[in-house]
A and B are shown apart, each in its own frame.
Chain A
Amino acid sequence: MPKTYAEINERIRRREAVVLTAEEAIGFVRENGVRKAAKEIDVVTTATFGTMCSSGAFLNVGHTKPKIKFGGGEVTLNGVECYAGLAAVDFYIGATARKKHGAGSRTYGGGHVIHDLVAGKDVLLKASAIPSDCYPREELEKWINIRDVGHAVLVNPRNGYQNYNVAVNRSGSTIYTYMGKLLPGMGNANYSSAGQLSPLLNDPRYETIGIGTRVWLAGAQGYVFWNGTQHNPGAHRGANGVPTEGAGTLGVCGDMKSMDPEYLVGTAFTNYGNSLAVGLGIPIPVLDEGIMRNVSVSDAEIFAPVVDYSADYPNATGRIIQKVSYAELRSGEIMIGKKKVPTGSMSSYPKALEIAGRLKGEVEKGRFLVQEPVQMLPGSKRGGGS
């Protein structure tokens, strides 16, 4: 018998819901079979913790006396340039923005500012504006703290990428990329997905994750507001329906004031730039056996494409060297042709596991309900999207 969202939520409210992490679901289904698992399990928690370059935050710092209009002017936070083309005291700080001058100019960026804000540190705001009759002030310099900021909303137009490339370097010298440091002659291979724990790899056809889905975003409850940018449901898929290359993505947002700095960590990639590592967790309601089967997917059944970041990626040739499973990647080395190549991960599996565990705890305690999407994502097996 299929379950409904209302039935599952009722069990969550009564603290009777049976919840597993996506890692635990693999063993449970192996031991008990899909039918029994679908009957007994209500929710499976998925998670990921990795660098999400399209992260940023909208802030509103409240009006000053006399008033100032940032819009059309310039704003920096701790020396990192913000985007001020909004209303009077709204602005946006992007994760990849970089401090241009002074100490930390090679390492400190927007991701670090976001982390510092969420960690409760004071951050220096500097603004210069074009005065008008209604907003006469020209300059503003003050320390701000997230406690005193009117509104702070974390927004990721693209998060939770469903699968990703494995990066190698076939050239003769070391290259520095957003996939890390890549040694010459395929000296290493870096991947970036939580694999069997990753939200969209556990819902390959977007049957439960859609617009309106409640998510765990860096410790706060947030929402999927739209399909993510570059969402590509038409990507190549294996026989199990799981994409074997980058496919779906999620646009997510949440109240930054209630986030945990442990799950929003600034990053600096040598000779590349700055970004922000973001923790995302999504509970998947086990509505039926098909969904139970999907959430029991293991690393051995998920494949990713190996791409040469010295030539094919920058030149967008689309060439793939071969495909490898996440089980192989996690073993510490993969075979590319006849060459044994050590692997490294850009996404933290231990942190993803921690998030899946925390979310499981919140669902079990009745504090996190599953939300039926108000509209399915494009490419959803359950229709509705376009």
Chain B
Amino acid sequence: MKKKVFFKFPPKLVTKPVTYLLVKDYDLIINIFSARINEDEAGILGVELDGLEENIEAALKYLKGVGIIVDDFDKRVRIDHTKCQNCGACTSVCPTGSLSSDKDFKVSLDEGKCIVCRQCVDACPFGAIEIGE
């Protein structure tokens, strides 16, 4: 099975070689789709885990045990169309092409491609992009 999750590392755990352990000890294929370190030096890693269901569960249990916060991939990017002016300031910062201008140059969001990396949120001058549940 495949599962998308966010790992949140407190500052003291930022240096822990998590992906290595997941590959070696739990036989998982790891695809990192976003990696950020916040101003408070906590790290946020967005990954897709691919492997046996019991291995994924065991891996997540281990990570929670050492103090890494595991967040399900339940956040969504939302465009407030009452605020959006269809300029396209967000499309060029989108790493997956989920935000794009359609044939009429209106901005559209393909949620299937979105990895909720949040790059677009502070790129919008109209405050039209928000992260929701």
Residue contact A344 to B91, C-beta cutoff 8 Å? yes
Q: Known interface pairs A180-B125, A269-B125, A330-B105. Does A348 touch B86 (Cβ–Cβ under 8 Å)?
A: yes
Task: Among B85, B92, B93, point to the contact of A351 (Cβ < 8 A).
Answer: B85
Q: Please indicate the chain B residues that have their CB under 8 angstroms from the CB of A267 in the complex.
A: 125-126
Residue contact A342 to B92, C-beta cutoff 8 Å? yes
In the complex formed, the residue of B with least CB distance to A179 is: B89
Q: Please indicate the chain A residues that have their CB under 8 angstroms from the CB of B97 in the complex.
A: 342
Q: Please indicate the chain A residues that have their CB under 8 angstroms from the CB of B94 in the complex.
A: 342
Q: Please indicate the chain A residues that have their CB under 8 angstroms from the CB of B126 in the complex.
A: 265, 267, 277
Interface size class of B (residues with CB under 8 A): 20 to 34
In the complex formed, the residue of B with least CB distance to A341 is: B92
B67 is an interface residue with CB less than 8 A from chain A: no
Interface residues of A in 324-352 (CB under 8 A from B): 330, 332, 342-351
A190 is an interface residue with CB less than 8 A from chain B: yes
Q: Please indicate the chain A residues that have their CB under 8 angstroms from the CB of B93 in the complex.
A: 180-181, 183, 187-188, 344
Q: How far is the CA of A330 from the CA of B106 in the complex (A)?
A: 12
Residue contact B122 to A181, C-beta cutoff 8 Å? yes
Task: Among A188, A347, A350, point to the contact of B92 (Cβ < 8 A).
Answer: A188
Interface residues of A in 246-276 (CB under 8 A from B): 265, 267-271, 275
Interface residues of B in 80-105 (CB under 8 A from A): 85-94, 97, 100-101, 104-105
B123 is an interface residue with CB less than 8 A from chain A: yes
Residue contact B106 to A345, C-beta cutoff 8 Å? no
B127 is an interface residue with CB less than 8 A from chain A: yes
A51 is an interface residue with CB less than 8 A from chain B: yes
Q: Known interface pairs A265-B126, A267-B125. Does A350 touch B106 (Cβ–Cβ under 8 Å)?
A: yes
Residue contact B89 to A350, C-beta cutoff 8 Å? no
Q: How far is the CA of A347 from the CA of B89 in the complex (A)?
A: 8
Q: How far is the CA of A107 from the CA of B90 in the complex (A)?
A: 18
Q: Please indicate the chain B residues that have their CB under 8 angstroms from the CB of A269 in the complex.
A: 125
Q: How far is the CA of A332 from the CA of B88 in the complex (A)?
A: 10
CB proximity of A290 to chain B, nearest CB, Å:
29
Q: A-B pairs with the 4 shortest C-beta distances? A: A344-B92, A188-B92, A345-B88, A267-B125
* 16 more CB-based (< 8 A) A-B contacts, given A180-B92, A348-B88: A49-B85, A180-B89, A180-B123, A181-B122, A183-B92, A183-B93, A190-B92, A267-B125, A268-B125, A330-B101, A330-B105, A344-B123, A345-B101, A348-B85, A348-B105, A349-B105
Binding site for B on A (CB under 8 A): 49-51, 107, 176, 180-181, 183, 187-190, 265, 267-271, 275, 277, 330, 332, 342-351
26 contacts between A and B (CB under 8 A): A50-B87, A51-B125, A180-B89, A180-B92, A180-B93, A181-B89, A181-B123, A183-B92, A183-B93, A189-B92, A265-B85, A277-B87, A330-B101, A332-B91, A332-B101, A342-B94, A344-B90, A344-B91, A344-B92, A344-B93, A345-B91, A346-B88, A346-B125, A348-B85, A351-B85, A351-B87
